[in-house]
Amino acid sequence: MAEVTLEITRGTPEQGEWVETYTVPYADGMSLLDAVQWVREHQSPNLVVRFSCRSANACKECSAVIDGKVGYLCNTKAVAGSRVKLQPLSTRRWIRDLVTDLD
């Protein structure tokens, strides 16, 4: 079965940060937000990510740093066999895991 490996920055300003690696089964058409949601449902329910619209690029709540570039988790396709690094935005106040202030 094809998989996607996610290296996700976890933690809080109080706890500090660390990287957790998750292996997610790939599905056709899967976005990185779908992959993160799979992790929340099957491996780490306390992983925090913010989103609302899920695909329209309208809410911008799922912004993150994806392999070093700012992007939206919901409209970035996962690639079978890939390894992807996901980090919170560095330009906004970090709250927890992939979530930062909206301002």
How many whole angstroms separate alpha carbon 45 and alpha carbon 48? 8
- Residue closer to ligand FES by CB (options 2, 75) is 75
- Residue closer to ligand FES by CB (options 23, 92) is 92
Nearest residue by C-beta to ligand FES?
Answer: 74
In degrees and rounded to multiples of 5, residue 42 shows phi and psi of -120, -20
How many whole angstroms separate alpha carbon 60 and alpha carbon 4? 23
- Residue closer to ligand FES by CB (options 22, 34) is 34
Least CB distance to ligand FES at residue 98 (A): 12
Contact positions toward ligand FES, by CB under 6 A? Answer: 51-54, 57-62, 72, 74
